């Protein structure tokens, strides 16, 4: 009967959610917005490409003086420049619009600025002067060095290929960080998508005065577990719908969208961080779900629950204020506090798990803490719903509800 | 609740029930049984503790002390498959369609989906709401929503039917319809506990009653027992000539040619008639009736102040 009722609750809650027009408007708004952004990017890229082509073909006419002695007249001519003999006249020519710009190359361009006088062509096109002046100096320096290799080295155009070891084994580096971090992403998306619905899940019974009918028909644990599971299914569906335009965009419009060609084969799926990440996700989800449902059971209306809801939501973002410390000094006191404080623990521990600084012992402690507290929160939520939701229009006294014991 | 019980067996047993809310004692030492197959009127003024007792019986409230058993044990929601409970606080999932809500509760009470759908359509037809099956609940009138809620309450053929003010908000026509439906349940063998302020409903449907006052049982028994205890009989008299005072009766109402007499304890109605005739009263009609429950109710609760909540 309990299993039958659980399925009934899941089915009822799921279908009543997905049957609502409001749900589809909210759900489709994001992919539609993404599709619009992608379309704008494609159009913009085409326009940028056309503009770049036009700029490439458009020649800049400029005058210059060079106190450094690095720039040859031949080099300047290839960029459209002619040497000026009178700086004041050159500026007057710019003002008159007979040349586009006048560049004054100083004696020591490494320490002194190149002064540029140009016709105003708008914020974006004015940048061309700066780019051309710099490029002339770069090419002039390359010509002085006389070797493309040395020029590249001088420009710091150097690649390195690292291999690091952890416990005597080759570590995955950044490729090993990304996969466990996916759990953090899923945690954020699921909490953001589902939190307000979790909060409202038991409020609805109170606001509709349907609590007594429910409590005499159905075990409250079955009701709450059914609601949470249906919300999770709804959240999964929403995530898939949100991801769909990204996947389509990547697979079919990658070049138009200037998306990088991701080579997923380089990602290192290390079992331990993946398992720990998955358990932290589940534990964190359980804790937040239980807490939100408990808040809903105590508060008479969604409006009054909002204050506590906001505080709880803020806690999942707090660890990002110390993310640099989490990466650089995971044993700092504040990082340790955030690792073990229940409502900041999921995010902090998942970050540390991704960066490889969460020890096995710490993982076990945090996972156990999240599951134990999550279970307690869910039990409390059920208890508060059972003995609290009958207080339809007033806030439940938790102490009063907890005093109520089971029948002897 | 398992198989149907033998008529007369206690299906509900409450003994020494006490309920405190903080320092306020709402119910004190309340004991009564409801027998299988009977219709039991649970009466009392607003705030006397009726709803509290029902909620404690069904596990919604935890009693401060005492035993509250349904079918020999504390009620658990899993037993709800054979319970029909119409609470005082009415409510349904307002944004869903009538049929969806009915089928949902039917499924929770153990019906197959098809059976729940079929039952719902038949019920909606009976209560003249067949065209509202796909209408959202919040689009219905209050009375229509009440009918839906009653349907949800009885759709599992309950063995124990608990109705907290079932006719509240109904017009007289729909009240009769509702009474018919309750009588059908009764005929089908259901044990019915009914909280109501409509005494004519009690007199029509109930086998036994309990009058709750200030958290204790003021009266408990068959309707006749209660009438005998609180009012006995009333003599309705059509007459001419002056009505003399007597040690045999009290005159409770005296109009021009009509009077109501309350016999003193131990007095036989025949002696009163003889007394009237002997003393020269021309008696045109002389009928003896029991005191109505409504009169008893007013007599018992008439001195109450405003209720503090149920």
A to B CB pairs, distance under 8 Å? 86
Is residue A27 situated within a structural domain?
no
CB contact under 8 A, A392 and B87: no
pLDDT band at A345 (very low <50, low <70, confident <90, very high): very high
Which pairs with CB-CB distance under 8 Å and at least 24 residues apart come from B18-22?
B18/B63, B18/B64, B18/B65, B18/B66, B19/B49, B19/B52, B19/B53, B19/B56, B19/B61, B19/B63, B19/B64, B19/B215, B20/B64
Percent pLDDT > 90 in chain A is 26
pLDDT band at A350 (very low <50, low <70, confident <90, very high): very high
* A84 shares its domain with A118: yes
Could you read off the pLDDT of A313-331 as tens digits, one per residue?
888 888 988 888 888 888 9
CB contact under 8 A, A217 and B89: no
Total count of residues recorded for chain A: 408
pLDDT given for residue A43 in this prediction: 78
* A145 shares its domain with A178: no
Could you read off the pLDDT of A139-176 as tens digits, one per residue?
898 888 888 788 888 778 788 877 777 777 777 677 77
B94 Cβ under 8 Å from any chain A Cβ: yes
* A221 shares its domain with A345: yes
* A241 shares its domain with A345: yes
* A145 shares its domain with A185: no
Q: Dihedral through CA A259, CA A264, CA A265, CA A271, nearest 10?
A: 160
Could you read off the pLDDT of A175-200 as tens digits, one per residue?
778 888 889 988 888 888 888 888 87
Helix (H) or strand (E) holding A106: none
* A74 shares its domain with A128: yes
Q: In 3D, which of A240, A308, A216 has the Cα closest to residue B163?
A: A216
Could you read off the pLDDT of A210-258 as tens digits, one per residue?
888 888 888 888 988 898 889 889 888 888 888 887 788 777 777 776 6
Is residue A321 situated within a structural domain?
yes
Residue A100 belongs to a domain with what CATH number?
3.40.190
Residue A315 contacts residue A343 (beta carbons within 8 Å): yes
Partners of residue B99 in chain A, C-beta under 8 Å: none
* A215 shares its domain with A149: no
Q: In 3D, which of A113, A114, A95, A92 has the Cα closest to residue A103?
A: A114
Confidence check: pLDDT of A405 > 60: no
Q: Which domains does chain B have, with CATH numbers?
A: 10-227 (3.40.50.300), 233-290 (no CATH)
Domain of residue A78, residue span: 58-154
pLDDT given for residue B306 in this prediction: 42
Chain A interface mutation, best of B65, B77, B168, B169, highest count of A Cβ atoms under 10 Å: B77
Is residue A43 situated within a structural domain?
no
* A177 shares its domain with A310: yes
pLDDT band at B224 (very low <50, low <70, confident <90, very high): confident
- Residue after which a domain boundary falls, among A124, A154, A184: A154
Is residue A168 situated within a structural domain?
no
pLDDT given for residue A42 in this prediction: 75
pLDDT given for residue B41 in this prediction: 92
pTM confidence score: 0.73
Span A348-356, average pLDDT: 91
* A177 shares its domain with A130: no
CA B65 to chain A, closest CA, distance in angstroms equals 9
CA distance A230 to A224: 10
* A227 shares its domain with A126: no
Is residue A382 situated within a structural domain?
yes
Query: What's chain B's average pLDDT?
Result: 86
In total, how many domains does chain A have? 2
* A150 shares its domain with A219: no
* A391 shares its domain with A244: yes
């Amino acid at each position: 009967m309990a299993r039958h009722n659980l399925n009934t609750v899941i089915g009822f809650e799921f279908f009543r959610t997905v049957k609502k027009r409001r749900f589809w408007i909210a759900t489709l708004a994001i992919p539609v917005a993404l599709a619009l952004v992608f379309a704008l990017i494609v159009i913009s890229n085409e326009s940028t490409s056309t503009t770049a082509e036009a700029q490439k073909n458009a020649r800049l006419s400029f005058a210059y003086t060079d106190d450094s002695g690095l720039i040859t007249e031949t080099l300047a001519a290839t960029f459209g420049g002619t040497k000026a003999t009178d700086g004041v006249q050159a500026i007057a020519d710019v003002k008159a619009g007979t040349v586009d710009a006048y560049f004054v190359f100083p004696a020591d361009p490494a320490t002194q600025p190149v002064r540029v006088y140009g016709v105003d062509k708008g914020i974006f096109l004015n940048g061309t002067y700066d780019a051309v002046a710099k490029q002339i100096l770069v090419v002039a320096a390359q010509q002085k060095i006389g070797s493309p290799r040395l020029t590249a080295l001088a420009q710091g155009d150097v690649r390195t290929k690292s291999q690091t070891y952890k416990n005597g084994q080759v570590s995955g580096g950044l490729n090993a960080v990304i996969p466990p971090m996916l759990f953090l992403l899923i945690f954020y998306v699921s909490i953001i998508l589902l939190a307000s619905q979790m909060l409202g899940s038991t409020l609805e019974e109170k606001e509709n005065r349907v609590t007594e009918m429910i409590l005499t028909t159905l075990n409250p644990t079955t009701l709450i577990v059914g609601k949470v599971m249906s919300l999770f299914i709804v959240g999964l569906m929403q995530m898939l719908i949100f991801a769909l335009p990204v996947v389509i965009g990547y697979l079919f419009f990658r070049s138009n969208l200037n998306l990088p060609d991701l080579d997923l084969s380089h990602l290192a799926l290390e079992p331990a961080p993946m398992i720990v990440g998955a358990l932290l996700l589940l534990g964190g989800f359980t804790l937040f779900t239980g807490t939100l449902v408990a808040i809903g059971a105590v508060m008479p209306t969604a409006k009054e629950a909002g204050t506590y809801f906001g505080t709880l939501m803020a806690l999942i973002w707090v660890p990002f204020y110390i993310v640099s410390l989490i990466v650089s000094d995971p044993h700092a006191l504040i990082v340790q506090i955030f690792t073990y404080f229940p409502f900041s623990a999921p995010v902090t521990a998942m970050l540390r798990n991704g960066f490889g600084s969460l020890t096995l012992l710490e993982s076990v402690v945090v996972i156990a803490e999240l599951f134990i507290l999550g279970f307690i929160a869910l039990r409390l939520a059920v208890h508060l719903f059972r003995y609290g939701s009958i207080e339809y229009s007033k806030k439940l006294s938790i102490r009063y509800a907890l005093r109520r014991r089971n029948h002897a | 609740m398992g198989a149907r019980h033998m008529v007369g067996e206690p299906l509900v047993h409450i003994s020494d029930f006490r309920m405190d809310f903080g320092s306020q004692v709402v119910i004190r030492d309340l004991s009564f049984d409801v027998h299988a197959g009977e219709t039991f009127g649970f009466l009392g003024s607003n705030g006397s503790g009726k709803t509290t007792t029902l909620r404690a019986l069904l596990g919604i409230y935890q009693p401060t002390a005492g035993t509250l058993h349904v079918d020999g044990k504390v009620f658990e929601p899993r037993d709800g498959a054979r319970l029909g409970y119409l609470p005082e606080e009415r409510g349904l999932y307002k944004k869903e369609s009538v049929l969806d809500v009915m089928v949902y509760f039917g499924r929770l009470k153990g019906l197959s989906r098809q059976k729940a759908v079929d039952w719902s359509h038949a019920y909606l037809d009976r209560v003249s709401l067949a065209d509202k099956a796909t209408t959202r609940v919040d689009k219905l009138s209050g009375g229509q929503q009440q009918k839906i809620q009653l349907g949800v309450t009885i759709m599992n053929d309950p063995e124990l039917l608990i109705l907290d003010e079932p006719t509240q908000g109904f017009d007289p026509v729909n009240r009769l319809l509702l009474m018919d439906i309750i009588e059908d349940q009764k005929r089908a063998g259901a044990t019915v506990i009914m909280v109501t302020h409509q005494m004519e409903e009690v007199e029509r449907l109930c086998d036994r009653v309990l009058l709750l006052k200030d958290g204790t049982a003021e009266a408990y028994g068959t309707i006749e027992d209660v009438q005998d205890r609180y009012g006995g009989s009333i003599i309705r008299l059509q007459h001419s000539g002056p009505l003399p005072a007597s040690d045999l009766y009290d005159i409770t109402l005296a109009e021009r040619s009509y009077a109501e007499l309350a016999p003193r304890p131990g007095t036989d109605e025949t002696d009163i008639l003889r007394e009237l005739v002997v003393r020269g009263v021309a008696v045109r009609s002389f009928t003896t009736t029991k005191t109505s429950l409504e009169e008893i109710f007013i007599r018992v609760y008439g001195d109450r102040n405003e209720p503090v909540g149920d």
